[in-house]
Structure 1
């Protein structure tokens, strides 16, 4: 991949599930990687991650109790186990959309068109033995030697602050940025703060810089 780009090193940014891909590279294929950005990611999947997500969903529901849009969001969460094709996946993703923002309904005019345009593909989370595929990198993250920036939205219900703080604690020398007015999409909700942090991190960790 790096050879095709014609550069000596790259920075890898992984958002959400993409964070697990970047963590894999940091742990197993760090050659020619100048640094990694784990953005709304986590060190683990599975029951523990799901329990934390449900805790955050309950917090979201309490924050917006009485809002007319809340029942649709909660129904979408309940429908997640029923997803079996792209059509259902798209419907659920649109239903969940407000929960992925710090204040979707306060900025609905800004984000409504984006929600209507959502298309989602259903990809099974089962391995070749039809068992849920789980990740747990916690025992290995202490061996990461690459410069690492961890970014998370304060109100992220999917991969929230608990996981960002754990990543930050486990990865030696890592930096942590919490976007206080964001959910799962800080690059959309707080684009200036997000871009400044990423630009500074990449500039400071590029080859030939201190």
Structure 2
């Protein structure tokens, strides 16, 4: 079932909710520059195992509204809170991929993990995508700046290049076309502004506030959120488990989907 949740005046967030009836809820936060359809290969499987799978489209992406402002981590975490309250979610697993992982960690810090019983960080863009004086393990900030400039200059070409960078395993052309289209569905200004946020923002201060069991899953061939980010998360988050995916880049939820689904199911149960 799909519906909209109002998170602030004139801003509505699209939510896809597959509820088999009474199952443990998982709220999936997608990565950049896609939408809730990114988790198709989880929504195909996990509801049959009794899980309630909920996906949102971040503001500016997919079917959600496209305001000009509100693409920083605090506001995006507040949007998550709005969805959680509207759906009455309690004792749920929060699962964030890429920038969705950064938003998840900000939610845990800013909203004290409201309603969350377990946290799954999937190739998370946390604690920092880019290099900083105290964190030399990310990408050079200029690499993200190139993405932003390319978004404004030729977004379709940027999306095609990003698709090629996203996955380690070879893609069929129809799958590559499908993945490309997820990015096309977003607003151009939202695509650029969220990229600016993950270039400039970090979630170091949020990690020490996470006090729920946390599963960190990361592909060893990830060229977008480098594997060193997962190590930093594991060191900083109490009661965390780090699980490597040997045959994946940034898209482990598809590249090793059977393992991914099995490990997520095992973690939640």
TM-score for both structures, normalised by structure 2: 0.56
Determine the C-alpha separation between the residues in 2 that align with 1:2 and 1:165. Answer: 29
Q: Give the match for residue 168 of structure 1.
A: 234
Over 3 Å counting, the alpha-carbon distance change for 1:31 and 1:96 in structure 2 is closer
Q: Give the match for residue 20 of structure 2.
A: none
Query: Residue 149 of structure 2 is aligned with which of 82, 91, 106?
Result: 82
Q: Which has the higher contact order (CA 8 A, sep 6+)?
A: 1
Determine the C-alpha separation between the residues in 2 that align with 1:92 and 1:170. Answer: 33
Asked if 1:136 is matched to 2:202, the reply is yes
Q: State the aligned residue count.
A: 177
Q: Which of structures 1 and 2 has the bigger CA Rg?
A: 1
Q: What is the Cα deviation at residue 189 of structure 1?
A: 0.7
Over 3 Å counting, the alpha-carbon distance change for 1:95 and 1:78 in structure 2 is farther
Asked if 1:183 is matched to 2:254, the reply is no
Q: What is the Cα deviation at residue 7 of structure 1?
A: 4.5
1:137-186 Cα distance to aligned partner (Å, 9 max, x none) = 22441232111111111111111210011101110110111111011111
Determine the C-alpha separation between the residues in 2 that align with 1:191 and 1:81. Answer: 30
Contact 1:153/1:161 (8 A) holds in 2: yes
Determine the C-alpha separation between the residues in 1 that align with 2:120 and 2:197. Answer: 29
Q: What is the Cα deviation at residue 20 of structure 1?
A: 1.2
- Give the gaps of 5 or more residues in structure 1: 58-76, 204-210
Q: Give the match for residue 262 of structure 2.
A: 196
Query: Residue 44 of structure 1 is aligned with which of 128, 135, 144?
Result: 128
Q: Give the match for residue 117 of structure 1.
A: 181
- Give the gaps of 5 or more residues in structure 2: 1-82
Q: Give the match for residue 11 of structure 1.
A: 93
Query: Residue 219 of structure 2 is aligned with which of 140, 144, 153?
Result: 153
Taking only aligned residues, the RMSD between alpha carbons, in angstroms, comes to 3.2
Q: Give the match for residue 106 of structure 2.
A: 24
Contact 1:145/1:172 (8 A) holds in 2: yes
Over 3 Å counting, the alpha-carbon distance change for 1:92 and 1:2 in structure 2 is closer
By percentage of residues, which structure has more strand?
2
1:75-108 Cα distance to aligned partner (Å, 9 max, x none) = xx895253354x822321112212211133xx44
Q: Give the match for residue 69 of structure 1.
A: none
Contact 1:14/1:20 (8 A) holds in 2: yes
Q: What is the Cα deviation at residue 109 of structure 1?
A: 5.0
Contact 1:94/1:115 (8 A) holds in 2: no
TM-score for both structures, normalised by structure 1: 0.70
Determine the C-alpha separation between the residues in 1 that align with 2:95 and 2:138. Answer: 23
Contact 1:79/1:92 (8 A) holds in 2: no
Q: Give the match for residue 73 of structure 2.
A: none
1:12 aligned counterpart, secondary structure: strand
Asked if 1:53 is matched to 2:135, the reply is no
With 16-25 and 111-120 compared, the bigger mean Cα shift is at 111-120
